[in-house]
Amino acid sequence: MKIVILDGHTANPGDLSWQELEELGEVTVFERTRADETVARAAGAEAVLTNKVILGRKEIGQLPRLRYIGVLATGYNVVDVAAARERGIVVTNVPAYSTESVAQMVFAHVLAVTNRTEHYAAENRKGRWSASPDFCYWDTDLTELAGKTFGIVGLGNIGSRVAQIAAAFGMKVKALTSKAADALPAAIRKADLQELLSTSDVLSLHCPLTDDTRHLINAASLRLMKPSAILVNTGRGPLVCDADVAEALAEGRLRAYVADVMTEEPPRADNPLLGQPGAYITPHIAWATREARTRLVATAVANVRAFAEGHPQNIV
């Protein structure tokens, strides 16, 4: 079986191995692939693996030997699944591999705001503590999480794990979820969006991106939030309107926006959020711990193996 990986660099920049995949066929790995290179590189392949390279109807239509598409991620919007089904092409993804890592990033971001450890470490490298007349100093607000309200939009794998951690911090957890109230763990109370917006000290977004959730956080919803609130987005960039969040930060109507995703990735240099001191943005790396990427590659290989053996798994 001829196997082509169109953009292997992000999942495996060289610290992991494709050896187990190579045992299943002839493997060609491209670190990155431009849109105009996709068809030529995938030509002749029976199996194609992609992370962010788009395989739409047009590309699929020009790949007559293609029988399998493996998405190196949980989200599979980069593939025209309907076009693949029409051709009998199996499409798989890798579910739940990054739950622990993304949940950890949520609190890394929240604690960066509440405790400002990076700020104080930087100041002390410049000698500020050594020059202090007192045994300690602080010049930022320091906030205790215990007793505060943590709102969650979406209680899938990641949202549920975030809820557990928030409860362990002693926070009151509320969630907007399709799950019945009596089916939720005792530590989580079901709430509607308006209640979450108006009462949350931390509001974390973990819902899918759909027509209904696109720009869920906008000028109107931001007006309902506490000026002291921290907004967290490790889900999808377009869940928020960048311009509206930037304006709320600039006007002091939101304490902080912490995000690992952006509407456009990489973001344009003139994105209004990048210039806001209250925006703490990481470059879509919550999923990228070595442990999570090891699980990702292992499951992707297992998906190809299962397909080759005639019993495909993780089909989308």
DSSP assignment of 279-312: EEE--S-TT-SHHHHHHHHHHHHHHHHHHHTT--
CB 304 within 8 A of CB 311: no
Q: What is the pLDDT of residues 101-138, one digit of tens each?
A: 999 999 999 999 999 999 999 999 999 999 999 999 99
Share of the chain above pLDDT 70, in %: 100
Which tokens go with 122?
Answer: 């930087």
The tens digit of pLDDT for each residue in 200-232 reads 999 999 999 999 999 999 999 999 999 999 999
Among the listed residues 23, 265, 291, 309, the single catalytic one is 265
List beta partners, residue 203.
151, 231
pLDDT value of residue 252: 97
Going from the C-alpha of 167 to that of each of 173, 192, 196, 216, 306, the distances in angstroms are 6, 19, 16, 25, 39
**DSSP element (H, E) containing 162:** helix 157-168
- In Å, how far are 71, 152, 167, 206, 207 from 156, measured between CA atoms? 20, 10, 16, 7, 8
Nearest CA to 259 among 229, 288, 243, 239? 239
Query: Of 206, 236, 255, 295, which residue is the catalytic one?
Result: 236
| 24 closest CA partner among 39, 55, 46, 7 | 46
- Tens digits of residue pLDDT in 49-99: 999 999 999 999 999 999 999 999 998 999 999 999 999 999 999 999 999
Residue 73's pLDDT is 95
- Per-residue confidence (pLDDT) for residue 113, from 0 to 100: 98
- Provide the token pair at 132: 């202090």
Kindly indicate the confidence band of residue 300, based on its pLDDT and cuts at 50, 70 and 90. Answer: very high
Domains delineated in the chain:
2-96+290-308 (3.40.50.720), 99-281 (3.40.50.720)
- Let me know if 284 is a catalytic residue: yes
**pLDDT score recorded for residue 131:** 97
> Catalytic: which of 67, 214, 284, 305?
284
Q: Write the pLDDT tens digit of every residue in 231-276.
A: 999 999 999 999 999 999 999 999 999 999 999 999 999 999 999 9
Instruction: Confirm whether 9 is a catalytic residue.
Output: no
Residues in CB range of 122: below 8 A, 6 or more apart: none
| Contacts for 271 with CB less than 8 Å, ≥ 6 apart | 242, 262, 263, 264
What is the widest separation between alpha-carbon atoms in the chain?
74
Active site residue 189: no
pLDDT at residue number 169: 98
